[in-house]
Amino acid sequence: MYNSLVGHNIAKKKLIRRARSSSDLSLPALESAKQDISTDREAELMSQTDVATLLAPELADRLRAMPKAEIHVHIEGATDAETFYQMAQRNQVDLPADSLEAWKSFFEFRDFSRFIEVYAAAVKCLQTPEDYALAIERFYSRQAEENIRYTEAFLSATFLTDKFEDDEILDAIASGRAAGEAKYRCQINLIPDISREIPDSQHRVLEFVLKGKERGLFIGLGVGGLEVGYPPELFAETYAEARKHGLRIVAHAGEAVGAESIWGAVNTLKAERIGHGIRCLEDPELVEILRQRQIPLEVSPQSNYCLGVVERGQPHPLRKMVDAGLYCTVNSDDPAMFSTSLTNEYLTLAEQGFSWEELWQLNLNTLAATFLDKAEKDNYRLEWEKFLHSAS
């Protein structure tokens, strides 16, 4: 199934990741994307309410209330329509809507063609360091609303280093974090990533990340973006240098490209976690290595459906991954852009037959896969045990 989707989705993935790394996605490119995918429009994303109505009310309520961790979510893709609208008004950016309500309607996920238009319009709103401070503060609010107690989130460092001076954007990131921590009951750490389709940016990104690490702003380094044509091996030296400086190492792999991308992330980059990774199932030997080493996989079901990596209407391969003994976690990737949330990811899996016990274990897996130290993890586990006892 995956191989039949890959060729068609290469153009899709290229445009998405370009949007993450650049604020200039031209109208001709958008029109080309529309033509490329005109025959691939899926049914609308099932709303969170619709999913919840298929479940026992007690299970849906418990999933909403449970304290959660998340380790694969992009700040830019988690920024909501209202925040982007506020930035547009402040920066005098024209949007394809003449009011906030119209923009919210336009922003809602419908299909891939609309998603590309939304992403292109939204990232143009990110014009100043203050915009990033606001996006980060609002991200704290979003996570707190879902009772996501701890998060490790991505920032597109290739874009940041191309657009801003280091000190001004680091000051803005620090300001956004301070404001969020003061207002909301959640903890967030940041992992900037390299846009792999711009490999020449990697050394500049590492320099930026190390400056942020010195200020206590960043904990690791990632690589995302277009997998096709940009294998993990291109970033081997940068990752080796990052490890020498004590950065935690993660990599997107096995989403648009198959098992070879995951092999490269594991063997060459020495990635401690794999973003997505669902195409490991194409290679039994890789599945066995991942199982033996218990390398965490950062799985985002609705993202996979929305981008066509998994065909909508088919069960998500997370079931096969769990049954194979793989170390799986649940995440939301670009939740605002895909009209989803971490809670909705769990609701989706519940609707596909995952039990409460399995979902709770996936949540525990996510906490265990974080880069928190043992004492910090133990503190969260105590809090979660109290919730479990109160919910039983």
The residues annotated as belonging to the active site are: 255
Residues 6+ apart with CB under 8 A from 72: 152, 154, 275, 276, 298, 299, 300, 329, 331, 332, 333
Tokens of 323: 């049954």
- Residue 103 and residue 95 in contact, taking contact as beta carbons nearer than 8 Å: yes
Can you name the residues that pair with 275 across neighbouring β-strands? 252, 298
- Reduce the DSSP state of residue 179 to 3 states and report it: helix
- Please count the CA atoms within 13 angstroms of the CA of 95 that sit on its side-chain side: 29
Angle at 83 between CA 190 and CA 150, to 5 degrees: 30
CB within 8 Å of 79: residues ≥ 6 apart: 122, 135, 138, 139, 336
Strands 148-156 and 187-195: parallel
- The residue type of 319 is R
Let me know if 284 is exposed, middle or buried by CB neighbors in 10 A (0-12, 13-18, 19+). Answer: exposed
Count helices and strands (H / E) in the chain.
20, 8
Contact residues for 155 (Cβ-Cβ < 8 A; gap 6+): 74, 75, 76, 173, 190, 191, 192, 193
Coil, strand or helix at 243:
helix
* Under 8 Å between Cβ of 213 and 219: yes
Residue 305 and residue 276 in contact, taking contact as beta carbons nearer than 8 Å: no
